[in-house]
Chain A
């Protein structure tokens, strides 16, 4: 079992839909990243959070430390949101980022 697991692995949505991507982790963490990766492109950090909730534009990230769970929400989704979204937990034990396998999102017009 991976230490960081994401669901779903693949997600197809219609433009305008509300999207949720989930991340569960089994290790103690200092912080958690949500990252975006476009095909052929590098990785962009969307959020880093260690508690509560953060919002940036149409993106919202939440984390529940007790339940070891985080979610990334996209409101009013748009085709340009199509990308791979990766959850990465910063292990408080090892000091390393542990990555989920990613969620491939396709938003259709």
Chain B
């Protein structure tokens, strides 16, 4: 596809369930970012990959959050034992990484924890 895609678009989980959110970046993009956007707020940085290497995970709110990008393309954000405060839109963005600051965003996954 031409853009960044994310799946699922919507996810409802019961508190305590594990969820996995997928991001397909633009083909060939080296850099991949995950952001969390709470209702009515701007996105906040979670983690960053350059190829398969997770270079920065300082934004992950707890050790229940885990992200991987094993082959340097598709990435998965996993949240274990979901809590209500995890309800948010999770955005993925990719960048060519070749000295470019421009990031291309996916449609997001809206997670609701009940």
Q: When each residue 29-44 of chain B gets 1 if its CB lies under 8 Å from chain A and 0 otherwise, what string results?
A: 0000101000011111
A45 pairs with B103, CB closer than 8 A: yes
How many angstroms from the CA of A88 to the CA of B102 in the assembled complex? 11
Q: How large is the interface on B (under 10, 10 to 19, 20 to 34, 35 or more residues)?
A: 20 to 34
B41 pairs with A101, CB closer than 8 A: yes
CB-defined contacts of A96 to chain B, threshold 8 Å: 45, 48, 56
Scan residues 60-96 of chain B and give those whose CB is less than 8 A from a CB of chain A: 91, 93
At the interface, yes or no: A76 with Cβ under 8 Å from chain B? Answer: no
Once A97-B45, A99-B42, A101-B41 are accepted as A-B contacts, the answer to whether A42 and B106 lie under 8 Å apart by CB is yes
B102 pairs with A97, CB closer than 8 A: no
B105 pairs with A44, CB closer than 8 A: yes
A99 pairs with B101, CB closer than 8 A: no
CB-defined contacts of A33 to chain B, threshold 8 Å: 101-103
Which one of B40, B91, B101, B104 contacts A90 once the chains associate, using CB atoms below 8 Å? Answer: B101
A101 pairs with B42, CB closer than 8 A: yes
Question: Would you give the shortest CB distance from A42 to chain B, in whole angstroms?
Answer: 4
CB-defined contacts of A102 to chain B, threshold 8 Å: 40-42
